[in-house]
Amino acid sequence: MADGGIGAAITRKEDRRFLAGRGTYTDDINRPGQVYAAIVRSPHAHARVKSVDVSQALAFPGAVAAFTGADMAADGVGGLPCGWGITQIDGSPMAEPPHPVLQAERVRHVGDPIAVVLAETRNGARDAAEKVAVEYEVLDPVIDTARADADGAPRVHDEARNNICFDWQIGDAGPVDAAFAKADKVATLNLINTRMATCAMEPRAAVAEYESGTGHYTLYTSSQNPHVIRLLLGAFVLNIPEHKLRVVSPDVGGGFGSKIFHYAEEAIVTWAAAKVGRPVKWTAERAESFVSDAQGRDHVSKAELAMDGDGRFLALRVSTHANLGAYLSSFAPLVPTYLYATLLAGQYATPAIHATVRAVFTNTVPVDALRGAGRPEATYLIERLVDEAASVAGLDPAEIRRRNLVPPDAFPYQTPVALAYDSGNYAETLDAALKDGDYAGFETRRADAKARGKLRGIGLAAYIEACGAAPSAIAGQLGARAGLYESAEVRFHPTGTVTVFTGSQSQGQGHETTFAQLITERLGVPVENVEVIHGDTDRIPFGMGTYGSRSLAVGGSAIARATDKIVAKGKKIAAHILEASEDDIEFSAGTFSVAGTDRTLSIGEVAGAAYVPHNYPLDELEPGLDESAFYDPANFTFPAGCQLCEVEIDPETGTVEVVDFTAIDDFGRIVNPMIVDGQVHGGIAHGIGQALFENCVYDGASGQLLTGSLNDYCMPRADNLPSFRTDTRETLCPHNPLGVKGCGEAGTIGGAAAVMNAVADALKPLGIGHIDMPASPYHVWQAIHQSRNKTA
Amino acid sequence: MYEFNYRKAASLDEAKDLFSKGEDAKYMSGGMTLLPTLKQRLARPSDVIDLAAVPDMSGIAVTGDTVSIKARTPHAVVAANAEVKKAIPALAKLAGGIGDPMVRNRGTIGGSLANNDPAADYPAAIVGLGATIHTDRRTIAGDDFFQGLFETALEEDELIIQVDFPIPDKAGYMKFPNPASRYCIVGVMVSSKGGNVRVGVTGAGACAFRVKEMEDALKANFAAEAVEKISIPDGDLNSDIHASAEYRAHLVTVMAKRAVAEANG
C-alpha cells in the first residue's frame, strides 16, 4: 500500500484552499447579468395576509421585478414537499398541510416568506423589499410544545385538528405495563429537549440561471444533498425535468443538518431566473438564517424506568411531544419517530419499551434534523433517566450502567424498538472512559473544588447512535419517499491518476481526504494522485448526500464496491498482457502479479493499457477503466461510546465550567484518526453548546424569536471548552465492506447528556433535582436560589 | 444598510461644520456600534462623519495623579499601555475585556461613552473612578455624564476630546458577561482614594450608577465582607432573557465583593 491509506492521520487535502481563503462557496459564485433577490418575510408569528402590494417596490430605482405567492400560483408552482410520511397509531396518514413557497393567504411563523423583490444590487433589493406593502390581520399564535394540542389553542393549519400532525408509537405497551406492575423501583423524569438553531458558519445561499436557448436551469445552492434538491425542486415544485435541471453545491461551510432540506429560496430564485431571464442570487443574512433555517430538537417528554431490586431495567415507558414548527420540513416526521424512539433502548438490555410520540404544529420556524437528529434527544432522555434511576436504586451511576449494558456476546442484539444492533462492546468503552477520566479519583477533586468554593460534578453518557439509515426497502415501508443508498464512480485516467465521483456531499468533513485514502488503501494510488468530486448533479451519479454520519459507511462503501470492480477488470487486462490465466492474477498495493512469478504490472500500466488498447482483449472486454457502484446497506451502523464530563459550578453566579471531558468512541475501523478526532471535538462542542448555552426562545404571546441574533443566541466558544481527552475502541461493522460506522454526530449525541448529568451531580448536595437545559448561569442560579429559599 | 453620505473630517471644526449641515448626522469614532446598527438597518443617518482623520485625538498621558486618555484611543491601546497598567491596572483590565480583539482594535473610549450602551464596560470606570470628561466646549464630571438609557449630558453636536481618570490608591473591576454577547450583565468598578470610595455599576440599570450604601460600608472597612451582605433594590434594574432584575441585583453584590478583593490584591 502507498502511504496514506486506512489509518493514516494525513492532513486534509481541502484545507489548503479553506485555510488560504481560496474556497468557493455559493456566495462566491457570480453569474453575468445577475440580479439580487430580497425576500419579504412576515414580522408576525400568525396572521392572515389581507393584501400584498408590490407597486412601490417596483418603482424603487434599480428594482427589476417583484413576485408574490399569487404570481407563483398562477404559474402552477407546487408546494414544498415532505420526504417522509408517518402512519398514525389508528392507521391513518399524518396531517400533511400544504407548504406554499410564498404565502399568499396566511403566515405561520416570523420569517415566513411572502414576496421576493429582484434588483440590480443586493442593498437595492433590500431597500425595494421594504416598500412592499403587506396588510395583515394578526392572529393569536401557538408556541408552546406541550400545550399546542390543548383544546382552544390557536390552529396553525386547518388540516391539523388540535395542531396534531401525528400520534405514533413504537414497542409493545402490554409487557411494559406488566413490568411496571411488578417493578421494585421506578425512576421518573420530566424533561425538555431545547430547541436549537444550527448557525452554520456559511449562511444559506442560492444562485440560479436559466438558458432560454436550451431550456436548462442551473441552481447553485449551499446544500448537503444536491441530487435530493434537484429531485424535490424539479419533480415536485417547479415541474422541471431532471435532465434540464443541474444543481451544484460547491464548498459548503457547515450544514449540521440544516442544509439537507429543500427550502423556499431555492425554488424562488430558480423560478424567478426564468421569469426575468437573468441569473438571480440570494444570500441569507444571519438574522434571516435564524427565522428561515430549519431548527432542531424541541421535545417535551415524560420518561419512566421500571427496575427490579438489583437495579436491573425491566421496562421503559416514554411519552413525547415533538414540536415540528409551522410546516413540515423535508424530513421532519422522520426525526422524532424512527431516528428518536428506535434509539430509546440506548446501550441497555431493557426487555420492554413502549414510546408514544405526538408531533404538533406551532407558529415557529420548522423543525427538522440537526446534528444527531433524534438520537441526541433519545440519549439525553435515557442517560438522564439512568442517572435518576441510579439515585432511586442507591447505585453508583457507573455501576447501574454496567449492570444493564447489552453484553458483548449478545450481538446481533434485537432491541424492543425495531433496531438490531450489529456489533459493539459497551463495557469496554465504559471502562476506558472511567479509567482515562479517573472516575475513581473524583471525590478528591470534588473536595478540592469545595475548598475553592466550587461545586464539582461528574457525569456519564453511554450513547449509541444509528448511522447510515438503511436498507432502502425497510425505510420505504416505514414512510421514506426516497432511497438511502449511495453512489460512487472511480475513474482511472490513462496516466494512472484517479478521479472519484461521490454522491456524498462534504460540508467540511474532509471527504476529499478520507475518500482518497480509500483509493490509496484499495488500489495503491497515492493520495495526491486522487481527486474527489462531489456536489454537481451533472458530474456525479445520482447520490443521496451527507447526513446521519453516513458518508463513509454508505458513500465510502460504494467507493469500495467500485474499487472491487476496478480490480476485477484490471485482473482481466493484466492476465491478457501478462499472458496468464485470470485466476492466477493477484492484486496487492497497486500491483497485479502472476502468482508464484515475478511478472507484474502496476495499476497505472493497466489503466494505460485500458485507454490505449493496443495489446488488449478487445473481443471480450471494453476499453477504459471507469467503474460505478451503488451501495444500499443491509442495516444501519451502530457507533457507540462513553463520555465522562466534569463541571465546576460557581454557586454565587451559577456559572458552569466544563473542566474535564473524556470521550471513548467505537466508530468501527477508522480511516483518518486526525479527521475523526476533529469530528469528535466539534461534536462535543455542539453537545456542550446545547447543554450550557444554546436555546431558541420564542415569546409565548407574540411568537417573536427572542434569540434571533448571535447577541442573544449563545454559541459555545473556544474559551468555553476544555481540552478534550479522546480515544477509540474498535468493533467492526460486520455488514459493510469497510467495517466502518460513522463519527460525525457522536460527540453531540452524548455530549449534552454527559454535561447535564455532571451539572445534576454538582447540584445534588444542595438538594436540587433535575434542571432543564441550558444550564446557563441564570438558570443555574435560579435553581440554587430557589433551593436556598426553600431551606431557609 | 440604508444609503448615507460618508464624510471624513480633517479637523474638529470641519467635523462640527459637517454635523451642522447634515439633516440627521452621526459622528463615527471606531464605528463598532454604529456600523452593526447601520447594517441591521436600525439607524438611518443622513451623514456619517468619520473622525478618524481628525489630528491629535488619540493617545495616553500619565501625569502626577491623573491618567488622561484621548477620545479616539482604542481599547486595545489602553489595555496594553504599560503606564495605565501600573497606574490603574483595573482600567487596563476593563479595556482588555471589552468585546473581542477586532472590537478592541477599532472601538474607542470616546465612542463608547458617547453611545452609553447600558451594558458597556467603560461607564463603570467613569463613575467608579470619578473621571472627568473634557469635550470640545466644557468639562463634565463623570457623575453627571450618564443620564439614562443611551442618554448622556452631551449636546447633540458635542464631541468628547479627552477623559481624565484620577489615579486611585487601589481599584478593582469585575464583570459578569452576557454569555452570548459578552457585554456586561453586571460590571462593577470599585476604587479607594484618600479615604473616598467609589462603587460604579454598569449593565444592571438604564445607565451606570454608584451604590452609596456600599461606598459607605467600604469607607469604614475596605474589605470584601463589608459589601457581601449589601443588596441593592432590583426595582429599576434591567430584566431580559439572560438575567432577571433580581439576578442582576444579586450579581452587583457578588461582583462588588470580588472587585474589592481584587483591589486589595
Contact yes or no for A423/A732 (Cβ under 8 A): yes
How far A122 CA lies from chain B's nearest CA (Å)? 10
* Nearest-CB residue to B247 (from A127, A715, A778): A778
Q: How far is A686 from chain B (nearest CA, A)?
A: 15
CB pairs under 8 A between A and B: 42
In the prediction, which pLDDT does A470 show? 84
- What is the CATH code for A15-20+485-631? 3.30.365.10
Q: In what order do the strands lie in the sheet with A530-533?
A: A530-533, A498-502, A486-492, A626-631
Distance CA(A541)–CA(A227), nearest Å, equals: 9
Q: Which CATH class is domain A422-466+637-792?
A: alpha beta
CA angle A399, A403, A409 (to 5 degrees): 130
Instruction: Kindly give the residue spans of alpha helices, DSSP state H, lying in chain B.
Output: 12-21, 34-39, 75-80, 82-87, 89-96, 101-106, 109-115, 122-129, 142-145, 212-220, 224-227, 245-263
- Contact at CB, B180 and A778, closer than 8 angstroms: no
Backbone φ and ψ for A155, nearest 5 degrees, come out as: -100, 125
Nearest residue, CB atoms, B251 vs list A127, A653, A697: A653
The complex's ipTM works out to: 0.96
Going by C-alpha positions, the residue among A615, A617, A587 that lies closest to residue A603 is A587
* Range list of β-strands (E), A102-148: 106-107, 113-119, 133-138
Interface probe, candidates B4, B117, B174, B181, chain A, greatest A C-beta count within 10 A: B181
What is the Rg, in whole angstroms, of the alpha carbon atoms belonging to chain A?
A: 27
Is A778 within 8 Å of B244 when comparing Cβ atoms?
A: yes
* Residues A489/A627, Cβ–Cβ less than 8 Å: yes
Helix (H/G/I), strand (E/B), else coil: A604: helix
Ranges of chain B with pLDDT below 70: none
Residue A3: per-residue pLDDT: 82
What is the phi/psi pair of residue A256, to 5°? 55, 30
Contact partners, residue A3, CB within 8 Å, separation at least 6: A520, A526, A527
Interface of A with B (CB under 8 A): 123, 126-127, 287, 652-653, 693, 697, 706-707, 710-715, 776-778, 781-782, 785
**From CA A531, how far away is CA A541, in angstroms rounded?**
16
What is residue A668's predicted lDDT score, i.e. its pLDDT? Answer: 97
Task: Report the candidate in A1, A678, A731 with the shortest Cα–Cα distance to residue A410.
Answer: A731
Q: Which of B41, B241, B250 sits opposite A706 (nearest CB)?
A: B241
**Annotated domain spans of chain A:** 15-20+485-631, 31-139+203-253+259-292, 142-192+295-405, 422-466+637-792
Whether a cis peptide bond, with omega within 30° of 0, leads into A279 is: no
Is A15-20+485-631's fold the same as A422-466+637-792's?
Answer: yes
Q: Which residues of B touch A710 (CB under 8 A)?
A: 180-181
Cell of A483: 432511497
Q: Which residues in chain B have their CB less than 8 angstroms from residue A123's CB?
A: 1, 3
B220 close to A (CB below 8 A): no
User: Which fold would CATH assign to domain A31-139+203-253+259-292?
Assistant: Aldehyde Oxidoreductase; domain 3 (3.90.1170)
If one counts every other C-beta atom within 10 angstroms of the C-beta of residue A359, the result is 30
Cα separation, A643 vs A680, in Å, equals 11
Confidence (pLDDT) at A788: 86
Map grid coordinates 440604508 to a residue: B2
Where would I find the H helices in B67-211? 75-80, 82-87, 89-96, 101-106, 109-115, 122-129, 142-145
> Which residues, in sequence order, are bridge partners of residue A323?
A360
Residue from A137, A69, A76, A133 nearest A103 by CA: A69
Taking the domains of chain B in order of start, what are their residue ranges?
5-50, 60-263
- Identify the residue whose cell numbers are 392507521: A91
Contact flag B254-A123 (C-beta cutoff 8 Å): no
Q: How many residues does chain A have?
A: 792
CA-CA distance, A682 to A256, in Å (whole number)?
11
What is the number of alpha carbons within 13 Å of residue A178 lying toward its C-beta?
Answer: 6
Preceding peptide of A774 cis, ω within 30°: yes
Predicted pLDDT of residue A792: 60
Closest-CA residue of B relative to A128 is B2
Residue A421 backbone dihedrals phi, psi, to 5 degrees: -65, 130
Q: What is the pLDDT of residues B29-83, one digit of tens each?
A: 999 999 999 999 999 999 999 999 999 999 999 999 999 999 999 999 999 999 9
**Touching check for B184 and chain A: CB below 8 Å?**
no
Q: Measured between alpha carbons, how far is A482 from A262 in angstroms, rounded to an integer?
A: 14
**How do residues A104-159 score in pLDDT, each as one tens digit?**
999 999 999 999 999 999 999 999 999 999 999 999 999 999 999 999 999 999 99
**Nearest CA-CA distance, residue A147 and chain B, Å:** 21
| Interchain CB distance below 8 Å, A653 and B176 | yes
Question: Which residues, including other chains, have CB under 8 Å from residue B152's CB and lie 6 or more apart?
Answer: B113, B114, B116, B145, B146
**Residue B1 touches partner A, C-beta closer than 8 Å:** yes
Q: Which of B227, B231, B250, B258 to mutate to test binding with chain A, by most A CBs within 10 Å of its CB? A: B250
To the nearest whole Å, the CA of A53 is away from the closest chain B CA by 22
CATH topology of domain B5-50: 3.30.43
- A447 with A728: CB under 8 angstroms? no
d(CA A506, CA A510): 7
Record: contact B241-A712, CB cut-off 8 A: yes
Distance CA B128, CA B123 (A): 8
The mean pLDDT of chain A is: 97
**Among A587, A637, A583, residue whose Cα is nearest residue A464:** A637
Residue B38 with chain A: CB contacts under 8 Å: none
Contact B243 A778 (CB under 8 A): yes
Burial class (CB in 10 A: 0-12, 13-18, 19+), B138: exposed
B179 touches chain A (CB under 8 A): yes
The torsion angles phi and psi of A220, rounded to 5 degrees, stand at -95, 125
B2 contacts in A (CB within 8 Å)? 127
Who among B40, B179, B241 is closest to A777 (CB)? B179
pLDDT of residue B256: 98
> For B60-263, CATH number?
3.30.465.10
Q: With respect to CATH, is domain A142-192+295-405 assigned 3.30.365.10?
A: yes
Do B250 and A781 make contact, defined as CB atoms within 8 angstroms? Answer: yes
Contact check, Cβ <8 Å, A782/B243? no
Distance CA B37, CA B254 (A): 32
| DSSP code of residue A508 | S
Contacts of residue B32 in chain A, CB cutoff 8 Å? none
| CB proximity B173 to A under 8 Å | no
What's the Cα-to-Cα distance from A712 to each of A287, A288, A698, A791, B242, rounded to whole Å?
11, 15, 12, 33, 8
Please name the residues in contact with A712: beta carbons below 8 A apart, sequence gap of 6 or more: A697, A706, B180, B181, B241, B242
pLDDT along chain A (792 residues), means of 10: 86 96 97 98 98 98 98 96 97 98 98 98 97 98 98 97 98 98 98 97 98 98 97 97 97 97 98 98 97 98 98 98 98 97 98 98 98 97 98 98 98 96 97 98 98 98 93 90 94 98 96 98 97 97 93 97 98 98 97 97 98 96 98 96 98 98 98 98 98 98 97 96 98 97 96 98 96 98 92 64
Q: What grid cell was written down for A236?
A: 415536485
**CA A103, CA A109: separation in Å to the nearest integer?**
11
Residue A226 in contact with residue A247, Cβ under 8 Å?
yes
